């Protein structure tokens, strides 16, 4: 190595040692008679110093010519600092500079390499290699490495085998859009990049691998929303000869292991909530359980008082914002504006203040007497000082709108602390959901999910009512993992494809290999996949996954640093047997 | 779990335990009064038995209806076997069957699921999920998992960070052909799949990550030769502030660690051989050092005796096949035929027998007296009983041909034992090689490799003579890893691109981001990449990498199981803005 120590290594015990350090010039402080250089590498910062009169004059001159981000090799003697810095691990010492070699110079970076940078998102992405020098970004990727490491330690300890599945696979119409890869050898034919290794991991179960996992890149050619990436990473897992209960134990164990080893946090046993409950009580299949604020239904107590909005509504439902009776008119107006935004879609917001003194005030005082309001308050189990917020309308959209309001109010009340973690299992998802656009059922999870045995008769009579052996793990209101017990016999799989509108021929062409495999001794099996990028960002307490990916794409699917996607040569196109269509 | 134990778990200590096992019916032996079932899972085989008169009659009936590869759940009591089988870990016990549930039936597999199968390559690939049930294939993938695990343990222990680099990158003309991915959002533009994460790992060094590794999929759209895969896996590594010596120590350490932990073998310190030596003495930059059989040059001793072939040859060079004086005429003819094959390209083979009794006989007795032959033998340090094999012609192709002959003879002499391992470093590769077809220099390693400092002046005068800071690790005659100390400043990188025939504009368009990065404080750095599939196959003592990949492609780049590449819908083509060109 060109160094004897890293910049994070030297301590008071090292005093008088002759050392050589390498790294980047973080900062130069020139007080005339004294000169300090903060030298930075991945491991920390070490202070170098020179003293006019004592240090070599040529050396001082050379040091004065250093700029920010210059790469240097510094030799010197470790000495004790007079004024120690207990914020950094090397703060007790400094190195008296005795030799200096400039390994590389640096132009002035387009933004400052500091924890809080003056660089905007676009600039940071174009110069990602400089952005990655910043502590918070580097630490995010170090955290990611640690999460991956601990995932492997846990899975290995349970005898899971990591198996790499192929990246060049086959395009299938079900699900999101595939990225495709034209074949040069077989003109007119394409590979596709996997949206997940789903069918391969199931085949590995058919092969008797028993317990499989993989930390694996997956690809989806979606219209990018904020914080979606065309390539993303999953912890992908599958097990044979198991029940749903085994999946819960194994993977609740994984997440608890990660919290313990990566964050030093013991999280409680994860409660389970079925899908119907979650939708009824929180209006979401991924309720944020860092706070309760459960939905309260008011239909019974508000009906028949002449308020048309409530009388005609399928559902009148609300939440109690604890201690918010003091919300100003302006604050309440803002909540009303929020629920009326098109993407939320409510018509309006009814509120009722349960004032500290016991008085009740509402936006519907015209229709409801104090007695009626007391009933509402009692139904909601509200207490003096609380604010009740109520929406009304058709059941499903109203619940969804109230779910958004619940998250907003929870946030305002400081109930969504990023350093607090609350996880649960949501279970018993519907197998199918009706799609108005395509006028057919779609698989809610994917076409390989098994229906609950007791619900199978409903497949022919009321398919929308069939529950699946499907489950999600939800952390702080985000789905971090989802999976199911799979179908493992040909007739059921064939029936499922029929339900989804596949002709027999289409099903065979797309998934014939899997249905064939089911005829050669397929074991009962099931699994789960975790969104690794998101998991890491939650562990890091960040809103965006962007900084947990070394080289992310922007919202247009573009890497502005290397400038891709880009045109290719006409020769390449010719070799591939394809043409750009204008 | 549907089982209490795996099929590899029960021992004599478990006698009288009531157990439930799950697995596949490997074999059914029906002796009339006694019936045995071999139940198999990933962990082993357990024998189940039934006894006419003692076991339940319905159970016996049900058992008789089982077929090979049926998936069952078997309940029973562990008992001691009368005739133990010490070949399997569970051979001391058997399970008296008391309950049987058929979890899935199986059609008759298209080939037998045994260590030695009757299935040919094509059939095995089409039904890969059945092929993967066979012990040798499953064990190969388990070995792969272990090699990956131990690689990570070693790299993590040295503070390397695993960072995922992107899969959707940019096509570059240098090197092999890229697989490309049309962008739906940016019509006419393409991503490319990485041939290696080379530029990204260098950017991570610029970012100060200091030590990086990744076990990563890479892609090359090459015309497939036997045992090449369009997607393959690398152990990809890079370090900053290092010399070549640090690379050697670190990664020789890795391979030694893998041998120790995976194979239980301590391999000796790896010798180093420079490229020029390797070519001169073994005619190859990846000499198989499991045996010596060093080249001997005879020009001085054979010239001027009237044998035109030798007199006119640039090089007369041979090997000593120890103890092969007894080779028959037929055996020697076969060697001659071998070297004359077009892919070897020699004109003929000269041989000389040093017979056990001391007599010398050769195919050129017409030109050489006994005295001359003794000189040849002495030069070759041959002993009675040896056979000398000599080729003549232009130096480079003759050495290459002799290298092939050396490997063939070494193999015939049993010197290439798959369970013996010999590794070395080949160093000081040329920086550039002249390409007759394109009439320009190509980078021997890649364009990011640095020239040796002392050879830099030669870049302008004799570029072909410039040596690179490049190195390969060679194991048993196969290059398992290669790398270099990189260029880390813009002017040198720019000069390199110029040498390779890039215009300044082309260099900027393709690799501008990297040259830009070098201007913002790039540290000295270097690295290496190991071919993971090949490494695993060498550890497994196999010739082919095929069975160390779960779902490989065939030689036409096709996965015959899922049948890809395949056509995609016209709607997909339209969305992507491309057309098939007839």
d(CA A409, CA A278): 18
Comparing CB atoms, the residue among B133, B184, B521 nearest residue A221 is B184
List CB contacts (< 8 A) between B551 and chain A. Answer: 165-166, 200, 203
Number of structural domains (chain B) is: 3
- Residues B83, B144 within the same domain: no
List CB contacts (< 8 A) between A142 and chain B. Answer: 161
Q: Which of A379, A412, A445 is the last residue before a domain boundary?
A: A412
Comparing CB atoms, the residue among B162, B170, B193 nearest residue A563 is B170
Q: Three-state DSSP class for B480?
A: strand
List CB contacts (< 8 A) between B568 and chain A. Answer: 171, 180, 190, 192
Cβ-defined contact of B513 to A580 (cutoff 8 Å): no
Separation in Å, CA of A365 to nearest CA in chain B: 53
Six-digit token string for B450: 């640095």
Six-digit token string for A521: 């001794």
Separation in Å, CA of A153 to nearest CA in chain B: 9
Cβ-defined contact of B166 to A553 (cutoff 8 Å): yes
Cβ-defined contact of B2 to A242 (cutoff 8 Å): yes
Cβ-defined contact of A167 to B572 (cutoff 8 Å): no
B27, B139, B181, B229: best to mutate for the A interface, most A CBs within 10 A: B181
List CB contacts (< 8 A) between B567 and chain A. Answer: 188-190
d(CA A548, CA A532): 10
pLDDT digits (tens, 9 = 90+) for B165-187: 999 999 987 678 999 999 999 99
Separation in Å, CA of A48 to nearest CA in chain B: 19
Q: Could you tell me the CATH number of the domain that includes residue B245?
A: 3.30.930.10
List CB contacts (< 8 A) between A224 and chain B. Answer: 185
**Is 70 exceeded by the pLDDT of residue A44?**
yes
Among chain B residues, the shortest Cα distance to A566 is held by B189
- Residues B536, B464 within the same domain: yes
Strand partners, B352: B362, B388
**Is 80 exceeded by the pLDDT of residue A162?**
yes
Strand partners, B27: B38
Among chain B residues, the shortest Cα distance to A138 is held by B209
A551, A565, A569, A574: best to mutate for the B interface, most B CBs within 10 A: A565
Digitized pLDDT (tens) for each residue of chain B, 582 residues in all = 999 999 999 999 999 999 999 999 999 999 999 999 999 999 999 999 999 999 999 999 999 999 999 999 999 999 999 999 999 999 999 999 999 999 999 999 999 999 998 889 999 999 999 999 999 999 999 999 999 999 999 999 999 999 999 999 999 876 789 999 999 999 999 999 999 999 999 999 999 999 999 999 999 998 877 778 999 999 999 999 999 999 999 999 999 999 999 999 999 999 999 999 999 999 999 999 999 999 999 999 999 999 999 999 999 999 999 999 999 999 999 999 999 999 999 999 999 999 999 999 999 999 999 999 999 999 999 999 999 999 999 999 999 999 999 999 999 999 999 999 999 999 999 999 999 888 899 999 999 999 999 999 999 999 999 999 999 999 999 999 999 999 999 999 999 999 999 999 999 999 999 999 999 999 999 999 999 999 999 999 998 999 999 999 998 999 999 999 999 999 999 999 999 986
- Residues B433, B343 within the same domain: no
- Is residue B536 within 8 Å of residue B213, measured between CB atoms? no
Among chain A residues, the shortest Cα distance to B520 is held by A106
Q: Evaluate whether residue B314 is within a structural domain.
A: yes
Among chain A residues, the shortest Cα distance to B68 is held by A521
Cβ-defined contact of B191 to A580 (cutoff 8 Å): no
Cβ-defined contact of A170 to B200 (cutoff 8 Å): no
Of B559, B560, B181, nearest in space to A182 by CA: B181
Pairing mode, strands B423-427 and B272-274: parallel
**End-to-end CA distance of chain A, in Å?**
55
Q: Evaluate whether residue A306 is within a structural domain.
A: yes
Separation in Å, CA of A130 to nearest CA in chain B: 6
Burial B534-568 (b: 16+ CB within 10 A, else e): bbbbbbbebebbbbbbbbbbeeebbbbbbebbbeb
Q: Evaluate whether residue B573 is within a structural domain.
A: no
- Residues B338, B318 within the same domain: yes
Q: Three-state DSSP class for A37?
A: strand
Q: Could you tell me the CATH number of the domain that includes residue B70?
A: 2.40.50.140
- Residues A329, A203 within the same domain: no
Comparing CB atoms, the residue among A71, A173, A523 nearest residue B103 is A523
The mean-pLDDT minimum among A252-256, A338-342, B175-179 falls in B175-179
Q: Evaluate whether residue B71 is within a structural domain.
A: yes
List CB contacts (< 8 A) between A42 and chain B. Answer: 208-210
The mean-pLDDT minimum among A97-106, A313-322, B171-180 falls in B171-180
Among chain B residues, the shortest Cα distance to A564 is held by B170
The Cα angle at residue A439 between residues A438 and A445, in degrees rounded to 5: 70
List CB contacts (< 8 A) between A558 and chain B. Answer: 186
Cβ-defined contact of B180 to A576 (cutoff 8 Å): yes
Q: Evaluate whether residue A499 is within a structural domain.
A: yes
- Residues A261, A150 within the same domain: yes
Strand partners, A46: A39
What is the value of ipTM here, to two decimals?
A: 0.95
A458 burial via Cβ count (<10 Å: 0-12, 13-18, 19+): middle
d(CA A43, CA A6): 6
List CB contacts (< 8 A) between B128 and chain A. Answer: 203
d(CA B56, CA B489): 81
Among chain A residues, the shortest Cα distance to B214 is held by A145
List CB contacts (< 8 A) between B203 and chain A. Answer: 128-129, 132, 551
Q: Could you tell me the CATH number of the domain that includes residue B318?
A: 3.30.1360.30
List CB contacts (< 8 A) between A109 and chain B. Answer: 520
Separation in Å, CA of A224 to nearest CA in chain B: 10
Among chain B residues, the shortest Cα distance to A66 is held by B521
- Residues B30, B82 within the same domain: yes
Among chain B residues, the shortest Cα distance to A24 is held by B521
**Is 70 exceeded by the pLDDT of residue A582?**
no
- Is residue B105 within 8 Å of residue B137, measured between CB atoms? no
- Residues A407, A429 within the same domain: no
**Is 70 exceeded by the pLDDT of residue A128?**
yes
pLDDT digits (tens, 9 = 90+) for B219-253: 999 887 777 899 999 999 999 999 999 999 999 99
Of A320, A324, A321, A323, nearest in space to A381 by CA: A320
The number of C-alpha atoms within 13 Å of B530 and in the hemisphere containing its C-beta is 25
Separation in Å, CA of A510 to nearest CA in chain B: 8
B5, B148, B521: best to mutate for the A interface, most A CBs within 10 A: B521
Among chain B residues, the shortest Cα distance to A582 is held by B577
Six-digit token string for B292: 């010596």
d(CA A3, CA A406): 55
Q: How is residue A492 annotated by DSSP?
A: H
d(CA B160, CA B212): 5
A40, A107, A138, A521: best to mutate for the B interface, most B CBs within 10 A: A521
Range of the domain at B318: 291-412
Cβ-defined contact of A241 to B3 (cutoff 8 Å): yes
Q: Evaluate whether residue A573 is within a structural domain.
A: no
Give strand ranges (E) for B324-371.
350-354, 360-362
- Residues A466, A375 within the same domain: no
Q: Which residue has the tokens 């109930």?
A: A415
Among chain A residues, the shortest Cα distance to B127 is held by A517
B176, B228, B562: best to mutate for the A interface, most A CBs within 10 A: B562
Q: Evaluate whether residue B189 is within a structural domain.
A: no
Q: Which of A412, A434, A463 is the last residue before a domain boundary?
A: A412
Separation in Å, CA of A74 to nearest CA in chain B: 12
d(CA B108, CA B122): 18
Six-digit token string for A178: 């595939």
H/E element holding A234?
Answer: strand A231-240
- Residues A89, A141 within the same domain: no
The number of C-alpha atoms within 13 Å of A508 and in the hemisphere containing its C-beta is 3
Q: Evaluate whether residue B555 is within a structural domain.
A: no
Comparing CB atoms, the residue among B185, B513, B519 nearest residue A561 is B513
Pairing mode, strands B440-443 and B432-435: antiparallel
List CB contacts (< 8 A) between B548 and chain A. Answer: none
Q: Which of A367, A394, A412 is the last residue before a domain boundary?
A: A412
Separation in Å, CA of B39 to nearest CA in chain A: 12
- Is residue A354 within 8 Å of residue A384, measured between CB atoms? yes
The mean-pLDDT minimum among A207-221, A224-238, A243-257, A302-316 falls in A224-238
d(CA B395, CA B372): 23
d(CA A441, CA B159): 51
List CB contacts (< 8 A) between B453 and chain A. Answer: none
How is A503-544 classified by DSSP, letter by letter?
A: -HHHHHHHHHHHHHHTTBTPPPEEEEEEEHHHHHHHHTT-S-
H/E element holding B246?
Answer: helix B244-258
d(CA A533, CA A108): 32
Pairing mode, strands B93-104 and B71-80: antiparallel
Alpha helices, H only, B283-381: 299-302, 308-311, 329-340, 370-379
Six-digit token string for A356: 């500290």
- Residues A49, A145 within the same domain: no
Q: Three-state DSSP class for A494?
A: helix
- pLDDT of B582 reads 67
List CB contacts (< 8 A) between A200 and chain B. Answer: 550-551
- Residues B141, B100 within the same domain: no
């Amino acid at each position: 190595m060109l160094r004897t120590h890293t910049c994070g290594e030297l301590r008071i015990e090292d005093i008088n040692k002759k050392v050589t350090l390498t790294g980047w010039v973080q900062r130069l402080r020139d007080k005339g008679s004294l000169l300090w250089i903060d030298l930075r590498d991945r491991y920390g910062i070490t202070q170098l110093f020179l003293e006019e009169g004592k240090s070599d004059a040529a050396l001082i001159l050379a040091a004065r010519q250093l700029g920010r981000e210059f790469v240097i090799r510094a030799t010197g003697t470790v000495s004790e600092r007079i004024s120690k810095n207990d914020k950094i691990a090397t703060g007790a010492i400094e190195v008296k500079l005795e030799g200096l070699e400039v390994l590389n110079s640096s132009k002035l970076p387009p933004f400052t390499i500091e924890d809080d940078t003056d660089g905007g998102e676009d600039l940071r992405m174009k110069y990602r290699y400089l952005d990655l020098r910043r502590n918070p970004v580097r630490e995010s990727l170090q955290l990611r490495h640690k999460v991956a490491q601990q995932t492997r330690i846990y899975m290995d300890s349970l005898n899971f085998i990591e198996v790499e599945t192929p990246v060049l696979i086959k395009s299938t119409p079900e699900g999101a859009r595939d990225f495709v890869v034209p074949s040069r050898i077989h003109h007119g034919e394409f590979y596709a990049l996997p949206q997940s290794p789903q069918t391969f991991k199931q085949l590995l179960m058919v092969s008797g691998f028993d317990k499989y996992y993989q930390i694996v890149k997956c690809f989806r050619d979606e219209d990018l929303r904020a914080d979606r990436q065309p390539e993303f990473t999953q912890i992908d897992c599958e097990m044979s000869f198991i029940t749903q209960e085994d999946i819960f134990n194994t993977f609740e164990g994984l997440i608890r292991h990660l919290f313990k080893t990566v964050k030093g946090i013991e999280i409680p046993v994860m409660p389970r909530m079925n899908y119907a409950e979650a939708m009824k009580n929180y209006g979401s299949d991924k309720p944020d359980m860092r706070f309760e604020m459960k939905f309260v239904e008011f239909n019974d107590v508000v009906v028949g008082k002449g308020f048309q909005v409530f009388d005609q509504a399928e559902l009148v439902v609300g939440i109690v914002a604890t201690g918010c009776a003091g919300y100003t008119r302006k604050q309440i107006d803002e909540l009303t504006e929020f629920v009326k935004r098109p993407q939320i879609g409510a018509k309006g917001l009814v509120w009722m203040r349960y004032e500290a003194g016991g008085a009740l005030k509402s936006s519907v005082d015209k229709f409801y007497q104090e007695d009626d309001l007391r009933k509402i308050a009692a139904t909601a189990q509200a207490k003096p000082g609380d604010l009740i917020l109520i929406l009304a309308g058709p059941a499903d959209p109203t619940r969804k709108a109230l779910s958004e309001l619940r998250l907003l109010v929870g946030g305002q009340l400081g109930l969504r602390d990023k350093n607090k973690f609350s996880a649960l299992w949501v279970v018993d998802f519907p197998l199918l959901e009706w799609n108005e656009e395509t006028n057919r059922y779609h698989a809610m999870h994917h076409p390989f999910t098994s229906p609950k045995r007791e619900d199978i008769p409903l497949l022919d009579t009321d398919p929308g009512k069939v529950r699946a052996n499907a489950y999600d793990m939800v952390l702080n209101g985000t789905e971090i993992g989802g999976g199911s017990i799979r179908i493992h016999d040909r007739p059921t799989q064939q029936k499922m494809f029929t339900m989804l509108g596949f002709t027999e021929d289409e099903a065979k062409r797309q998934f014939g290999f899997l249905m064939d495999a089911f005829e050669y001794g397929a074991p009962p099996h099931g699994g789960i996949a975790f969104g690794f990028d998101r998991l890491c960002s939650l562990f890091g307490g960040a809103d965006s996954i962007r900084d947990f990916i070394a080289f992310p794409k922007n919202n247009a699917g573009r890497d502005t640093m290397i400038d891709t996607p880009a045109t290719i040569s006409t020769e390449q196109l010719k070799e591939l047997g394809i043409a750009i269509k204008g």
